[in-house]
């Protein structure tokens, strides 16, 4: 399943007050795994960027002055979205700003039902805990994957593309992550289910794997087993192996757990 992780940086908190998008970052994921495809751009907001906001994302008006307008990137952005669900942390915020930009161009807005809010998923999963992107990144130890979490506390520590990349990893964990169940079946199927179960085929071997011990090692082991007496467990397994090769049944005395 294809999904798009989406994040924005803006000049403030409200497009109704004239705030605009200054950066867009998107990451494509398929079956919860980033594909490496991204969309990223800085935008000229055609207005000033308050100092308190610059301290968050580091994007000054001077830096953004020669960047493209939203109108010149909207087609590329919509093509990257395609018809995929859009994942955002506190999705109402990013959707509000994106739709404000679309309205300025008299373009169709993105509907709320198209969005998956990772913040709502986190709040349901970790009730009463901090569920900001930074808190979740720390919880899931994204620093071990190369993200510099300490740098985000400083001025300019946030950015739309790096936030989208972090959210892609967080979203994987929120959906089950590395703890997803593996169900092995004989049928050659790899499919996604609503319960995040991955079904993997398991083909029968046509030939046994070759032994990895040398003849000298096998002889030394046999000599050791011969010193253990007639009731040695190793001898019972040897009998079981011999019967298995001949198509017989294992001895009742051998307990296989």
* Span 229-239, pLDDT tens digits: 777 776 666 65
How many residues would you count in the chain? 257
Specify the pLDDT at position 158: 82
Per-residue pLDDT tens for 213-231?
Answer: 788 888 888 888 788 877 7
pLDDT over threshold 50, residue 34 = yes
- pTM equals 0.68
- 122 phi/psi in degrees, rounded to 5: -65, -40
Identify the structural domains of the chain with CATH numbers, from first to last: 2-178 (3.30.420.10), 218-257 (no CATH)
Contact (Cβ atoms closer than 8 angstroms) between residue 70 and residue 103 = no
Q: Which residues are catalytic?
A: 158
- Top-confidence residue, 79 or 217: 79
- Top-confidence residue, 223 or 203: 223
Q: What is the mean pLDDT of the segment spanning 100-122? A: 97
Q: How far apart are CA 102 and CA 52, in angstroms?
A: 26
Would you state the structure tokens that stand for residue 205, as one six-digit string?
A: 């071997």
Would you state the structure tokens that stand for residue 93, as one six-digit string?
A: 């915020």
């Amino acid at each position: 399943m294809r999904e798009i992780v989406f994040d924005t940086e803006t000049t403030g908190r409200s497009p109704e007050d004239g705030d605009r998008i200054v950066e867009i970052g998107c990451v494509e994921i398929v079956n919860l795994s980033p594909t490496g495809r991204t969309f990223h751009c800085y935008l000229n907001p055609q207005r000033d960027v308050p100092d308190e906001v610059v301290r968050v994302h580091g994007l000054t008006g001077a830096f953004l002055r020669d960047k493209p307008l939203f109108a010149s990137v909207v087609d590329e952005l919509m093509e990257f979205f395609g018809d995929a669900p859009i994942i955002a942390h506190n999705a109402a915020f990013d959707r509000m700003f994106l739709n404000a930009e679309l309205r300025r161009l008299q373009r169709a807005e993105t509907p709320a039902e198209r969005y998956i809010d990772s913040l709502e998923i986190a709040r349901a999963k970790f009730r009463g805990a901090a569920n900001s992107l930074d808190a979740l990144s720390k919880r899931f130890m994204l620093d071990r994957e190369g993200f510099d979490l300490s740098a985000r506390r400083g001025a300019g520590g946030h950015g739309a593309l790096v936030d989208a990349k972090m959210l892609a990893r967080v979203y994987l964990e929120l959906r089950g992550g590395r703890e997803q169940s593996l169900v092995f079946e004989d049928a050659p199927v790899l499919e996604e289910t609503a319960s995040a179960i991955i079904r993997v085929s398991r083909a029968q071997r046509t030939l046994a794997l070759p032994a990895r011990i040398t003849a000298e090692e096998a002889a030394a082991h046999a000599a050791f087993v011969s010193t253990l007496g007639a009731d040695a467990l190793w001898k019972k397994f040897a009998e079981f192996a011999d019967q298995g090769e001949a198509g017989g049944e294992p001895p009742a005395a051998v307990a296989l757990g």
